Amino acid sequence: MTQELARPAATPSDVTRDTNNLYEVWGDTVDSRHLVLAILISAVVSLGTYALALGILADILDSAQMAKAYAMLFGILGCLGGGTISAFLFKPKRDVVEHVADPAFREQVVNDLLKEYGSLGRLEETSPEVIAELRDLGLYELFRDAQRREEGARESAADAEVDAHASLQPSGGRS
């Protein structure tokens, strides 16, 4: 038995955009302009926090060396604050597309399910939660169309059986 491997799907047009300013830094996608601004914000916040803490702690503590050490800790906290500010200002630049299925591949899967199980059931008998999930995944229309095809095939088979049965009925007359 051979099985065809799924082909990678093309990126949808609504996901593509201008990526001239996008770079990968430490495994994440960043905009170069936002990266520079985030570095500046973090530097200003951390150095400002350090200078403010040094000014306050120099008056409180007896040792200038201890004041500098504690001020450095506040400067590190300032780095975290600058990063938090940057995270709120600059939203992620990546679009995660886990898998975009090819409509023909989906159609083939439904046809394989029909061949294997004979019937997929009726959508009207399915719970509202499952219907909502099918709609969210974009599969509701696919299963609705499959159900219509299945019902149409049953009706045409029933009509063919009635026609065959009617042709076998004796007409009662001679020709």
Point out the domain boundary residue: 89, 113, 135. Answer: 89
pTM for the full predicted model? 0.46
One domain for residues 69 and 125: no
In terms of residue numbers, what domain contains 74?
22-89
At 25 the three-state DSSP class reads: strand
Q: Looking at the domain assignment, is residue 40 inside a domain?
A: yes
Q: What is the DSSP letter of 84?
A: H
Q: Looking at the domain assignment, is residue 124 inside a domain?
A: yes
Q: Looking at the domain assignment, is residue 148 inside a domain?
A: yes
Q: What is the DSSP letter of 8?
A: P
- For the residues of 121-138, what is the DSSP string, one character each? --GGGS-HHHHHHHHHHT
Tens of pLDDT, residue by residue over 40-90, are 999 999 999 999 999 999 999 999 999 999 999 999 999 999 999 999 998
Q: Do the beta carbons of residue 146 and residue 114 sit within 8 Å?
A: yes
Q: Looking at the domain assignment, is residue 174 inside a domain?
A: no
Domain count, the chain: 2
One domain for residues 28 and 66: yes
Q: Kindly give the confidence (pLDDT) of every residue in the chain, 175 residues in length, as a single tens digit, with 9 standing for 90 and above.
A: 455 544 444 554 544 556 678 888 777 788 889 999 999 999 999 999 999 999 999 999 999 999 999 999 999 999 999 999 999 998 877 766 666 667 788 888 888 887 888 777 788 888 889 889 988 888 888 888 888 888 887 777 666 666 655 565 555 555 5
